[in-house]
Amino acid sequence: MEDVLEVYQRPHDPQCPVVCLDESSKQLIAETRVPIPAKPGHPARHDYEYERNGTANLFMMFAPLEGWRHVEVTDPRVAARGPHRRGLRPDPQGIVG
């Protein structure tokens, strides 16, 4: 973990940017009843029941020192391809953690 934290302390180098990758799976749900909007003195009300609509994968690339991020939502069946699907091929010597 200390190695990864040291990477974030490196000075900005456009030739070797710090790029963070993360992925997450999220459940997609839908309301089964129309929510009741908020009124003065009463909060909005949402029923606890929901309808399952499958899942989606989120892939995030973030370059904190470059000032950009990219999030891609994909079908779970393409999760195995991950970042390589977009042609992201980092130099193995520069990979930390």
What pTM does this model have?
A: 0.58
Gap between the Cα atoms of 54 and 92, Å rounded: 35
15 occurs within a structural domain = yes
42 occurs within a structural domain = no
Q: Which domain holds residue 15?
A: 2-26+56-94
Q: Domain tally for the chain?
A: 1
Chain position carrying tokens 């990758």: 21
Burial group, residue 84, by CB count within 10 angstroms (0-12, 13-18, 19+)? exposed
- Digitized pLDDT (tens) for each residue of the chain, 97 residues in all: 677 788 788 888 888 888 888 889 999 999 899 999 999 999 999 888 999 999 999 989 888 888 889 998 888 766 555 555 555 555 656 665 5
| Positions of E strands within the chain | 20-31, 50-63, 68-74
In this prediction, residue 36 carries a pLDDT of 93
43 occurs within a structural domain = no
Gap between the Cα atoms of 61 and 21, Å rounded: 5
Phi, psi of 22 (to 5 degrees): -150, 155
